Structure 1
């Protein structure tokens, strides 16, 4: 997934929203509570001056609904599903950036493949080993896209398609996929994690 890099665009730009993967930077560089509750007013009555205090136990509190269901963050009108490794710290930088951006769009559905509840049956038959090898995304019509194309589709879903626009054309497309392929192959070592075989074995025991 992504290494580091950031740009700022316009006065209102937030650098956390525009993190550019370093493997893409090798192709080209981009310059770029709730409100406080008031006590009831002091009142005078026949028994004297008293404060009327509402019991906390009597208040009505909306239940907290988890964002994750079966390892997925629900989004009713999603256009593309991102399968990501929630245990990869560098990958999560890009995921968090897209998640923050997606708050205004709701077009991306995030699926954590490291979750014990992840199932291939709900994700076009893509098993854990396959999706750990490289990034996969699933469009709403069931089409599976991988590698740089997956990133391009995901960014397009939140109006950041310009970031990967150049990767549509040759020879940039081939170069970008090759660079990403190297990153995908060694990302576990780069992030200090054990080899894929050990990760798979640990998951089998865990699940």
Structure 2
């Protein structure tokens, strides 16, 4: 059976400290190359996925599968974290009672993401999760000479 989801293209806002931190952590863990990253805050960005526009992309996380499906919200994170070897995120956020709650919480955070203090985002993504992601990337590196993205 042919995989029609991966590589999954993630559309993210690098101007948002939360978004940028999370994507950088996913980039570090993306040792299998199942994710592609498109920065919609880049002034040169001009290729939104089908039937979307930049304004919609700035509202919620979007992903584009290889077969052209456009995904939105927590579903994108479920697939992304599963692709980088953290299926627990998908499992937890996909539970019947948790799924609608996680969508609602994510939508609220996404709307107010610029209100999160930079220091808090840096503490979470720049320190704790980044170190974990770097350890995971090194552990998964087959040749021992991995190029890790730098901030």
Residue aligning to 1:133: 59
CA contact (8 A) 1:88 1:191 kept: no
Distance 1:140 1:191, change over 3 A: farther
- Tell me by how many angstroms 1:118 deviates: 1.4
Select the residue among 164, 176, 181 that pairs with 2:107.
181
Deviations 1:74-120 (A, max 9, x none): xxxx5100100011112111111100111x21110000001122123
Q: CA deviation at 1:136?
A: 0.6
Give yes or no for contact 1:113–1:131 (8 Å, CA) kept in 2.
yes
Instruction: For 1:118-197, list aligned pairs within 5 A.
Output: 118-120=45-47, 123-191=49-117
Deviation at 1:158, TM superposition (A): 1.6
SS in 2 for 1:111: strand
Q: What is the distance in 2 between the residues matched to 1:125 and 1:116?
A: 20
Tell me the TM-score normalized by structure 2.
Answer: 0.69
1:86 aligns with 2:28: no
Q: 1 CA distance for matches of 2:107 and 2:51?
A: 22
Partners of 1:87 and 1:98 in 2: how far apart?
16
Matched positions, count: 113
Give me the whole-angstrom Cα distance separating, in 2, the residues matched to 1:85 and 1:169.
Answer: 27
Does the 8 Å contact 1:119/1:127 carry over to 2? no
Equivalent-residue separation in structure 1 for 2:10 and 2:69 (angstroms): 12
Q: Would you say the 8 A contact 1:120–1:126 is kept in 2?
A: no
* CA contact 1:84–1:91 (8 Å) conserved in 2: yes
Equivalence for 1:57: none
Distance 1:165 1:135 in 2: 19
5+ long unaligned stretches in structure 1: 1-77, 193-207
- Bigger helix fraction: 2
- Higher RCO (CA-CA < 8 Å; seq separation 6+): 2
Corresponding residue of 2:23: 95
Contact 1:148 1:177 in 2 (8 A): yes
Matched ranges for 1:60-79 at <5 A: 79=7
Q: Which runs of 5+ in 2 are unaligned?
A: 1-5, 119-151
